[in-house]
C-alpha cells in the first residue's frame, strides 16, 4: 500500500510557535521569499528581506496552483484572496495539430474536490505582499552579492555588510548567483528551450476552466491557461505560452514569426490574441535544472528554485516554493537548534521534490526539443496510458503535486478539502464561496 503521509498540519498552530526569536535574513522577494517572510514573521522572528528589484513586483507568466499549493495558502489564511482572483481549472488538455489527443486529465478523476487554480503572478504577489505587514523590513534595490554561511553575513552590491543573522534564507530564484555560496551545485544547467508568453483578455474564450495546449511534434507547443484577474485589473485574462529554443528567443525573427505560425496551428488562439493589444515581441522565460547534494551550510539555507530549479513542464515551482516555506517554518518550530531545523527541512522537502525533478527532466524533451521520434512516441503512448486506470491515477497524483516519492502521497487536510469542495463544478472567478470564507 502507498505510504500516505498526512504532513500538512492544522490551520492554526500558534501553540507550536518557537520560543526563541531568531534574526532571519531572506534574499529574494519572489514566491518563496514572500511566503517565508510572512510565515516566519507570524511566528515572532525578526525578518529582513533583501530584494534586488527597485520596485518589487511580479515577474513572469501566469501559473497553475496545484491542490498542494492551495492547501498551504489555506493554512496561511489566504485562500479566499487567491480564489477571488484565480480561475478554477478542472481539466488539462493537449492535442496535436491534427487533432489527436495527447493529454486529457481531469483533477476530478483523482478526487472530486480537486482542481487547479490559474493565477496571475501579480495576484499572488499582491496577496502575499498585503499579508506581510507586521514587523515588515524590506530592503528593495538591494542586490546581495555574497553570503557568509558560517557567520550569517551578507554583502550587497554597494559593499555594505549586513551581519548578525541566526539564519540566512537564500531564495533568489532559478538563476541564483548565490546558491554556490551556500553549497556547491551537483547540477546547474540551463534548458536549451524556453518560452515566450503574454497575458490576453479572456473574452469569449471557449475553455474558461481548462489548460489547453497544441503541439507540432516537440518543436512547437502553444498553450492557453485561464488566470483570472489581479488587484486593480478586473479583466479576466489568459496566459499564452509559445515554446521555442533559447537560441531563437534572442533573435529578431521570433518577434514576427509567431503570429503566422499560431494562425496555422491554432486559429482560436490566434483570434484571441488578435482581439487584444499584444505586442509582437512577447516576454521571454528561460528554465534551469539545478540539483544540490545539500541545501544548507552553517546558518544559510536554499529555498524555492534556488534549491531545486526545474523546468515548468509539470507546473509545480510556485507550489514547491510555498511548501518549502511551510516546511522550514515547521522545522524551526520543532527543533531548538537552527542546524537541526535546516536538516529536518531538507529531509522533508527532498522526499517530495525529487520525483518532480526526475519527471520534469524526462518530460521536457518530449514537449520542447527537436526530437521528432520522441514526440511521435509521446503522441502514440501518452493518451492511451492516461486512460488505463493505474496509469491515470499515477499521472494525476504527480500533476496535483500530491505524489511523494515513487509510491507515497500527501494527504491533504480534511478541512482544506471541505473548504474547496464546492469549487470544482465551474469556474468561479471573483466569487468566494461561503464555505471557504467560513473556514478562515
Ligand atoms: C514560463 C514559466 C511558467 C511557469 N509555470 C508554473 C506553473 O504553472 N506552476 C508553478 O507552480 N510554477 C510555475 N513556474 C515556476 C515558478 O515560476 C517558480 O518555480 C517560482 O517562481 C519560484 O519561486 P522562487 O521564490 O524560488 O523564485 P522567484 O520567484 O524567481 O524569486 C526570486 C527573487 O529573488 C530576487 N533576486 C534574485 N537575485 C537576487 C540577489 N542577488 N539579491 C536580491 N534579490 C535577488 C529576484 O528579483 C526575485 O524577486 C513557471 C516558470 C516559468 C519560467
pLDDT tens per residue across span 186-202? 999 999 999 989 999 99
Q: Is the CB of 321 under 6 A from ligand 1?
A: yes
pLDDT tens digits for range 286-331: 999 999 999 999 999 999 999 999 999 898 999 999 999 999 999 9
Q: How far is the CA of 151 from the centre of ligand 1 (A)?
A: 27
Whether residue 171 has its Cβ less than 6 Å from ligand 1: yes
3-state secondary structure of 122: helix
User: Does 63 contact ligand 1 (Cβ within 6 A)?
Assistant: yes
CATH of 84-119+192-286+371-440, one of 3.40.50.300, 3.30.9.10, 3.50.50.60, 1.10.1740.10: 3.30.9.10
Query: 0.85 exceeded by the pTM?
Result: yes
- Sequence spans of domains, the chain: 20-62+120-188+289-367, 84-119+192-286+371-440
Residue 420 pLDDT level (bands cut at 50, 70, 90): confident
Closest C-alpha to ligand 1, atom 51: 312
Q: Record the cell numbers describing residue 238, joined without a space.
A: 489568459
61 Cβ inside 6 Å of ligand 1: yes
Alpha-carbon gap, residue 306 to 304, rounded angstroms: 5
Pocket mutation for ligand 1, best pick of 26, 48, 53, 63 (most atoms within 8 Å of C-beta) = 63
Give residues with Cβ within 8 angstroms of 179, minimum separation 6. Answer: 170, 172, 185, 188, 290, 292, 302, 306, 307
Of residues 58 and 201, more confidence is placed in 201
Q: Identify the CATH assignment for 20-62+120-188+289-367 out of 3.40.50.720, 3.50.50.60, 3.30.70.141, 3.40.50.970.
A: 3.50.50.60
Q: Is 172 in the pocket of ligand 1 (CB under 6 A)?
A: yes
Determine the pLDDT at residue 432: 40
Ligand 1 centroid to 174 CA: how many Å? Answer: 6
Asked whether 144 lines ligand 1 (CB < 6 A), one says: yes
**CA distances in angstroms from 364 to 167, 213, 314, 410, listed in the order given:** 35, 14, 9, 24
Ligand 1 centroid to residue 176 C-alpha, Å = 10
* CB of 285 shorter than 6 A to ligand 1: yes
Amino acid at each position: 500500500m502507498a505510504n500516505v503521509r498526512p504532513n500538512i498540519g492544522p490551520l492554526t498552530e500558534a501553540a507550536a510557535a518557537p520560543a526563541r526569536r531568531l534574526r532571519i535574513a531572506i534574499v529574494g522577494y519572489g514566491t518563496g521569499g514572500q511566503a517565508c517572510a510572512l510565515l516566519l514573521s507570524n511566528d515572532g522572528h525578526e525578518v529582513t528581506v533583501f530584494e534586488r528589484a527597485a520596485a518589487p513586483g511580479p515577474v513572469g507568466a501566469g501559473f497553475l496552483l496545484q491542490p498542494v499549493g492551495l492547501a498551504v495558502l489555506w493554512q496561511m489564511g489566504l485562500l479566499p484572496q487567491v480564489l477571488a482572483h484565480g480561475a478554477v481549472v478542472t481539466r488539462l488538455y493537449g492535442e496535436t495539430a491534427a487533432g489527436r489527443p495527447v493529454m486529457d486529465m481531469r483533477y476530478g478523476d483523482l478526487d472530486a474536490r480537486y482542481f487547479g487554480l490559474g493565477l496571475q503572478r501579480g495576484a499572488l504577489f499582491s496577496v502575499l505582499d498585503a499579508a506581510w505587514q507586521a514587523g515588515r523590513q524590506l530592503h528593495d534595490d538591494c542586490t546581495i552579492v555574497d553570503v557568509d554561511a558560517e557567520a550569517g553575513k551578507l554583502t550587497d552590491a554597494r559593499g555594505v555588510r549586513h551581519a548578525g543573522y541566526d539564519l540566512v534564507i537564500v531564495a533568489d530564484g532559478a538563476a541564483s548567483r548565490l546558491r554556490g555560496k551556500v553549497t556547491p551545485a551537483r547540477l546547474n544547467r540551463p534548458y536549451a528551450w524556453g518560452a515566450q508568453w503574454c497575458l490576453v483578455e479572456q473574452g469569449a474564450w471557449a475553455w474558461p476552466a481548462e489548460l489547453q495546449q497544441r503541439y507540432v511534434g516537440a518543436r512547437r507547443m502553444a498553450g492557453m491557461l485561464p488566470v483570472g484577474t489581479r488587484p486593480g485589473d478586473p479583466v479576466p485574462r489568459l496566459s499564452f505560452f509559445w515554446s521555442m529554443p533559447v537560441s531563437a528567443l534572442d533573435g529578431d525573427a521570433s518577434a514576427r514569426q509567431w503570429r503566422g505560425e499560431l494562425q496555422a496551428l491554432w486559429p482560436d488562439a490566434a483570434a484571441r490574441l488578435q482581439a487584444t493589444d499584444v505586442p509582437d515581441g512577447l516576454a521571454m522565460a528561460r528554465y534551469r535544472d539545478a540539483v544540490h547534494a545539500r541545501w544548507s551550510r552553517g546558518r544559510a539555507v536554499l529555498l524555492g528554485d534556488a534549491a531545486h530549479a526545474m523546468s515548468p513542464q509539470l507546473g509545480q515551482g510556485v507550489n514547491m516554493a510555498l511548501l518549502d516555506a511551510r516546511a522550514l517554518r515547521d522545522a524551526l518550530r520543532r527543533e531548538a537548534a537552527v542546524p537541526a531545523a535546516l536538516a529536518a527541512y531538507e529531509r522533508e522537502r527532498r522526499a517530495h521534490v525529487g520525483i518532480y525533478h526526475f519527471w520534469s527532466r524526462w518530460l521536457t524533451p518530449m514537449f520542447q526539443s527537436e526530437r521528432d521520434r520522441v514526440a511521435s512516441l509521446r503522441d502514440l503512448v501518452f493518451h492511451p496510458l492516461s486512460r488505463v486506470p493505474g496509469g491515470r491515477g499515477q499521472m494525476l497524483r504527480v500533476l496535483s503535486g500530491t505524489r511523494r516519492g515513487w509510491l507515497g502521497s500527501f494527504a491533504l487536510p480534511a478541512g482544506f478539502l471541505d473548504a474547496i469542495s464546492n469549487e470544482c463544478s465551474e469556474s468561479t472567478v471573483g466569487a468566494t464561496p461561503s464555505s471557504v470564507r467560513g473556514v478562515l
